[in-house]
Amino acid sequence: MSWSKPPYKTVASPGRGILAMDESNATCGKRLASIGLENTEANRQAYRTLLVTAPELGKYISGAILFEETLYQSTVDGEKIVDVLVKQGIVPGIKVDKGLVPLPGSNNESWCQGLDGLASRAAAYYQQGARFAKWRTVVSIPNGPSALAVKEAAWGLARYAAVSQDNGLVPIVEPEILLDGEHGIDRTFEVAQKVWAEVFFYLAENNVLFEGILLKPSMVTPGAESKDKASPETVAKYTLSLLQRRIPPAVPGIMFLSGGQSEIEATLNLNAMNQAPNPWHVSFSYARALQNTCLKTWGGRPENVKAAQDALIQRAKSNSLAQLGKYTGDGESDEAKEGMFVKGYTY
């Protein structure tokens, strides 16, 4: 499987972003349960088939993050999911972390496991067709964050990035600053500056090539339980200020996570950030903010597959326009405006 240009350049191409569909089987089960379906491999396969076979998905989506099961899975018609993506011009990626566990000695915070055996797994994933990787760690503002938790998050991301690059995978670096909390936007900004300073310090310590990574940060917003709400223009101002202070222009792409924002909020905020040229490709890597309406429209019924795919394409197209700074919000459904914040969300 050969790409005409490096994977990070394909992923960070104008008007395109990432479809995050790497929910663990347990999280996928919660999504299926929300529409009354059992968490079986057949149902997970049916839903993932619906996503990757949406016509013209590759016009708006440049990369898809997969869970390990999906990387080795075929569609319901027997074609490898990786091959379906490649035909659409979408680079397959793989979630490589092993999830969050409690961090002893911290303020009820967590750390991300998965470095053991990562080199051999990364090599196997490359053989299977993956060309980029993802590692999600989280930082909680209500719990501190403690210096220990920030350092652990940054060090883990840097080690993972170095190992991934060593095995041919472009690492997506994702320290998610959780939306949980009543804090205002200035507190988020303060914590984000600290987290990103540590992340880039340790990336440099580990000799990670900045030109060969992608970032998946949180937008700078008030806490989800804050009384203050921020307009897209305010979110863009704070977030771009953070990026300008902390992210070297050598980094090719910033692929924002949605983190429980409504589908519309995530798109409006991204659009506001692209009203003037940026040193990096500023785009999206959304899971719920691309899939929510699609999943509800499908409801597990074969006759709804086309309508569900249309809903997915509508969201992908809206975010594609937002990446170009041309989104207007016309013709959006009420469902797309519903918030999706879940306290203490696990992936």
Q: What length does the chain have?
A: 347
Please state, in angstroms and rounded to a whole number, the distance separating the CA atoms of residues 58 and 149.
38
Q: Please work out, in degrees rounded to the nearest 5, the angle formed at the alpha carbon of residue 24 by the alpha carbons of 317 and 33.
A: 80
Q: Which of 23, 216, 263, 332 is catalytic?
A: 216
Beta-sheet pairing, 91-95 with 214-215: unpaired
Beta-sheet pairing, 132-139 with 110-112: unpaired
**In angstroms, how far is the first alpha carbon of the chain from the final one?**
29
Q: What are the residues whose beta carbons fall under 8 Å from the beta carbon of 277, sequence distance 6 or more?
A: none
β-bridge partners, 91: 63
- Written as six digits, the tokens of 103 are 């961090």
Report the Cα 12 to chain-centroid distance in Å. Answer: 13
Determine whether 174 is an active site residue.
Answer: yes
β-bridge partners, 66: 21, 94
Determine whether 216 is an active site residue.
Answer: yes
Beta-sheet pairing, 253-256 with 170-177: unpaired
Instruction: Assign 3-state DSSP to the chain and report helix, strand, coil percentages, each to 5.
Output: 45, 15, 40
Backbone φ and ψ of 136, nearest 5°:
-105, 120
Backbone φ and ψ of 266, nearest 5°:
-60, -40
Q: Which of 174, 263, 265, 332 is catalytic?
A: 174
Active-site residues, by number, are 174, 216
